[in-house]
């Protein structure tokens, strides 16, 4: 047993990660120095001393067979006392023979002719370290990166490399249609967050972080907005789901699992993860349950557990797993510089808003009607903190999300733009698929409006567009590969409404191409 050094087969890539104790699974930064055993097994100083103490206090008398071969031990130290063993063999052999003849004459070893012992524990043998070859290594996703010693803490990102808010919004405009206010808010928040991270150790004035809560109807682009932001920015960003979170001690993901995903996105680099962004989707699913007598393990208790994460504190998170257990190493992460963005559809919130607004109605010529807000598609824009609290979010949780903004519901014009304007629009995807078959796909304006009208009736936002396109394009994608003469397909409003079919154009030079192919064959 020797301490860890570079001569034990570890390359430079592995040296950037901390060693983890094979017994207690604590990293080197917490457990102290490590002893390196064969087959890449590391044991910390505490576990090594505990093991040696337990070995020294254990009574091995009566456990060893009389003819036990110590050469099979891991240390292979049985050869040192071979002379002493040879001197004692005759006496022990006679004792064994007498015991076997009187007690159990049927117990004999058929291979070597020796007789098995009748005392002690005959099935106990020492562990061979070679058997632990596949168990000794810690998976790459559970390794913790070492912190560089002797260097002052430097900001993870340079303030000069931070894109300005208008540049972030311009990049979001290429993929997200509409939602101008939401894109402006999230661009400024991300920009200020990384300015805060970059100047955290440069000035005496400490800038507080601004966590966000976004509210909008289903299918308006909440999750897509954050996913697009994660793709555009080269920063550690984790997207977690609040539906699987439960109180500590119950089946489900622990609350610390949201930080575990961020740590995995940062390649288990704690310093890099401490300046990342976490998006918690479906945050409305942890609202306080109403009229229930059972314990609310996935509602109010989860909100209370998230308070320390949103405010900023040092927490122990498992590396490479969603819950803490004895087989997973732990890392300490400070959430003070982590920006949290929470989003949810909050179904039923519009009724709470209408109820608050309808209290202002009255009788008279200038009175507002009670059904005035029934047809308002952007009713979420009138939300207040009191409405969210009445929905079931506790005041402590709302207070830690100071920025509250909403996303607008999608109109017919917005759905038409979503179909054709973004970089990865749905129509562009199908046009690319048919280009591989040398077929040009076109949609006239009437067909796009018909698709948008059908999508509005489904009331699922932009998600309905994909389902409708898949339905109408099924026959076309099936029939086109049959005929090589098809050159262009135009989708019309009549085809979408079921009163006609698509316009199919045959290649003008199809006959000429067939003749050329025949000449080549001849």
54 and 200 both lie in a single domain = no
Final residue in a domain of this structure, among 343, 373, 406: 406
* Residue 148 placed within a domain: no
303 and 209 both lie in a single domain = yes
| Crossing angle (nearest 10°) for helices 180-198 and 165-173 | 140
361 and 483 both lie in a single domain = no
Question: Which pLDDT score is estimated for 136?
Answer: 44
Report the alpha-carbon distance of residue 279 to residue 229 in Å, rounded.
Answer: 11
* Total domains in the fold of the chain: 3
Domain that holds residue 501: 412-521
Question: Which pLDDT score is estimated for 1?
Answer: 42
Report the alpha-carbon distance of residue 136 to residue 139 in Å, rounded.
Answer: 10
318 and 293 both lie in a single domain = yes
78 and 176 both lie in a single domain = no
Question: Which pLDDT score is estimated for 8?
Answer: 44
Question: Which pLDDT score is estimated for 228?
Answer: 87
Final residue in a domain of this structure, among 89, 106, 140: 140
CATH number of the domain that 471 lies in?
A: 1.10.8.60
**In this structure, are residues 230 and 281 in contact, taking their beta carbons and an 8 Å threshold?**
no
**In this structure, are residues 448 and 419 in contact, taking their beta carbons and an 8 Å threshold?**
yes
Report the alpha-carbon distance of residue 198 to residue 209 in Å, rounded.
Answer: 13
Question: Which pLDDT score is estimated for 399?
Answer: 93
* Residue 236 placed within a domain: yes
421 and 402 both lie in a single domain = no
* Residue 150 placed within a domain: no
Question: Which pLDDT score is estimated for 272?
Answer: 86
Report the alpha-carbon distance of residue 360 to residue 377 in Å, rounded.
Answer: 20
Question: Which pLDDT score is estimated for 291?
Answer: 72
Q: Are strands 41-44 and 34-37 parallel, antiparallel or unpaired?
A: antiparallel
Give the closest residue to 356 by CA, choosing from 381, 380, 395, 387.
387
**Residue 213: which H helix or E strand, with range?**
strand 212-215
430 and 386 both lie in a single domain = no
Residues of the chain with pLDDT under 50: 1-12, 67-68, 70-121, 124, 129, 132-137, 150-153, 510-514, 516-517, 520
Q: How far is CA 400 from CA 209, 390, 396, in A?
A: 10, 17, 7
164 and 93 both lie in a single domain = no
* Residue 151 placed within a domain: no
**In this structure, are residues 211 and 401 in contact, taking their beta carbons and an 8 Å threshold?**
yes
284 and 432 both lie in a single domain = no
Beta bridge partners of 341: 212, 279
The distance of Cα 151 from the centroid of its chain, to the nearest Å, equals: 31
Question: Which pLDDT score is estimated for 371?
Answer: 61
* Residue 147 placed within a domain: no
* Residue 98 placed within a domain: yes
Report the alpha-carbon distance of residue 188 to residue 428 in Å, rounded.
Answer: 31
Report the alpha-carbon distance of residue 386 to residue 393 in Å, rounded.
Answer: 10
Q: Which distant-in-sequence residues (6+ apart) come within 8 Å of 391 by Cβ?
A: 284, 287, 346, 348, 349, 352
493 and 399 both lie in a single domain = no
Here the tokens at position 303 are: 């909100």
CATH number of the domain that 321 lies in?
A: 3.40.50.300
Question: Which pLDDT score is estimated for 320?
Answer: 73
Exposure of 4 in the CB half-sphere (CA atoms within 13 A) = 20
279 and 169 both lie in a single domain = yes
Give the closest residue to 345 by CA, choosing from 202, 222, 489, 192.
222
* Residue 154 placed within a domain: no
* Residue 483 placed within a domain: yes
Q: Are strands 277-281 and 237-241 parallel, antiparallel or unpaired?
A: parallel
Report the alpha-carbon distance of residue 517 to residue 522 in Å, rounded.
Answer: 9
111 and 194 both lie in a single domain = no
Full-prediction pTM beyond 0.75?
Answer: no
Final residue in a domain of this structure, among 389, 406, 423: 406
């Amino acid at each position: 047993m020797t301490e860890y050094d570079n001569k034990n087969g570890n390359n430079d890539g592995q040296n950037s990660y901390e060693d983890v104790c094979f017994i207690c699974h604590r990293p080197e930064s917490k457990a102290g120095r490590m002893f390196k055993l064969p087959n890449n097994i590391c044991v910390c100083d505490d576990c090594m001393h505990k093991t040696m103490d337990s070995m020294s206090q254990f009574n091995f008398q009566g456990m060893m067979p009389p003819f036990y071969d110590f050469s099979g031990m891991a240390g292979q130290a049985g050869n040192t006392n071979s002379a002493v063993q040879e001197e004692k063999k005759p006496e022990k052999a006679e004792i064994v023979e007498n015991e076997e003849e009187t007690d159990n004459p049927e117990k004999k070893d058929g291979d070597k002719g020796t007789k098995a012992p009748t005392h002690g524990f005959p099935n106990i043998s020492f562990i061979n370290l070679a058997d632990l070859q596949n168990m000794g290594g810690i998976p790459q996703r559970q390794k913790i990166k070492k912190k560089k010693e002797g260097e002052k803490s430097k900001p993870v990102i340079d303030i000069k490399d931070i894109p300005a808010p208008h540049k972030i919004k311009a990049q979001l405009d290429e993929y997200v249609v509409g939602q101008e206010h939401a894109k402006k808010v999230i661009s400024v928040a991300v920009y200020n967050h990384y300015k805060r991270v970059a100047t955290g150790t440069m000035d005496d004035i400490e800038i507080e972080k601004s966590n966000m809560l976004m509210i909008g109807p289903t299918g308006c682009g909440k999750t897509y907005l954050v996913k697009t932001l994660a793709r555009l920015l080269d920063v550690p960003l984790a997207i977690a789901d609040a539906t699987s979170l439960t109180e500590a001690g119950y089946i489900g993901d622990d609350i610390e699992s949201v930080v575990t995903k961020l740590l995995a996105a940062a390649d288990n680099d704690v310093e890099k993860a401490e300046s990342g962004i976490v998006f918690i989707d479906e945050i409305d699913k942890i609202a306080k349950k109403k009229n229930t007598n059972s314990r609310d393990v996935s509602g109010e208790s989860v909100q209370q557990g998230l308070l320390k994460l949103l405010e900023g504190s040092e927490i122990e998170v498992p590396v490479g797993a969603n819950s803490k257990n004895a087989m997973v190493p732990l890392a300490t992460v400070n959430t003070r510089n982590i920006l949290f963005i929470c989003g949810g559809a909050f179904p039923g919130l519009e009724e709470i808003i209408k109820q608050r607004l309808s209290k202002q109605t009255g009788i008279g010529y200038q009175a507002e009607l009670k059904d005035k807000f029934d047809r308002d598609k952007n009713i979420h824009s009138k939300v207040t903190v009191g409405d969210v609290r009445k929905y079931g979010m506790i005041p402590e949780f709302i207070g830690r999300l100071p920025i509250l903004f909403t996303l607008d519901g999608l109109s017919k014009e917005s759905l038409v733009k979503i179909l054709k304007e973004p970089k990865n629009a749905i129509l562009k995807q199908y046009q690319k698929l048919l280009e591989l078959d040398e077929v040009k796909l076109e949609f006239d304006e009437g067909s796009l409006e018909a698709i948008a009208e059908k999508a509005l009736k489904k009331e699922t936002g932009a998600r309905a567009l994909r389902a409708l396109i898949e339905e109408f394009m099924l026959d076309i994608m099936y029939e086109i590969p049959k005929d090589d003469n098809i050159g262009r397909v135009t989708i019309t409003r009549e085809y979408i409404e079921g009163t006609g079919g698509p316009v199919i154009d045959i290649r003008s030079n199809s006959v000429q191409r067939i003749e050329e192919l025949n000449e080549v064959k001849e």
